[in-house]
Each structure stands twice: as structure tokens, then as C-alpha cells.
Amino acid sequence: MSTYPDDLLYSRDHTWARVDDTVVTIGITDFAQENLGDIISVDLYTVDSAVKQGEPFGLIESSKATVELIAPVSGDIIAVNEDLFDDVGVLECDVYDAGWMIAVAIDRVGELDDLLDPDDYEEYVDQVQGRR
């Protein structure tokens, strides 16, 4: 059994996707958050912006680095978690719920097949960390 929530799909760029029909809510994984260290700020694309799978939807600045947030699916942003602009600390305690970043009206449902289930993502993280 995986240590990652089983109701989500995961990308190799360490983002998660919660699918609800044609809307996909997106955030970063615990693994990403832990490796970033203290998060300083988040800059996200705005509502009505188009995002493409494998391309940025924002930036996250931490004590260790500033990195692009990579979209796991393509579509139009229909919601942005503006609470993160006031309190990025939520990403350190609740990345899978209150720490969601954007919601996207998905263009290509088939892109979900490119994402990993929790067990496969955990195995991928182990490989990244050199455990397997």
C-alpha cells in the first residue's frame, strides 16, 4: 500500500491530480514540498489561462530554489487557490487538500493515462532517491 493518497494521480514532475469528471485539481506532492524546504512564495497562472501538459503553470520559490510548476494535464484554468498567496505555509502541512493550486477544465482526457497511480508514483520516488 502506498504512502500517497489513493484518490489522486501523480506526475513525474511531482504534481498530483484529483479528477472530478472533466475538472482536474492540481497541487504538488509531499515529496516535492519536502525537497523544496521552506516555501517562500507561489506565483500561479490566472483563471482563463491555458496550460499544456508538461509545461509550466506557475513558479514556487523556496529556501533552496525557485522552480517551475509543471502541469500534469492540458486545459483552461478555471480556479486558482488564492489563499496560497496569503499563507504558503499550508503547503507544508496540507498539500493534498487546502494546498491545492489550480483547477483545470481538461482538454484531453487521454492525458490522464500518462499519470501514475499512487503505487507507481511511490516506486518512482524510490528510484529518484536511489532506493531501488
- Could you state, in chain order, the average pLDDT of each consecutive group of 10 residues for the chain (132 residues)? 89 98 97 94 98 98 96 98 95 95 97 98 94 60
In a domain, 61, yes or no: yes
In a domain, 105, yes or no: yes
- What per-residue confidence (pLDDT) applies to 130? 84
Total structural domains in the chain?
1
In a domain, 129, yes or no: no
Q: Which residues contact 130 (CB under 8 A, 6 or more apart)?
A: none
- What per-residue confidence (pLDDT) applies to 3? 86
- 71 vs 89: CA distance, rounded Å: 22
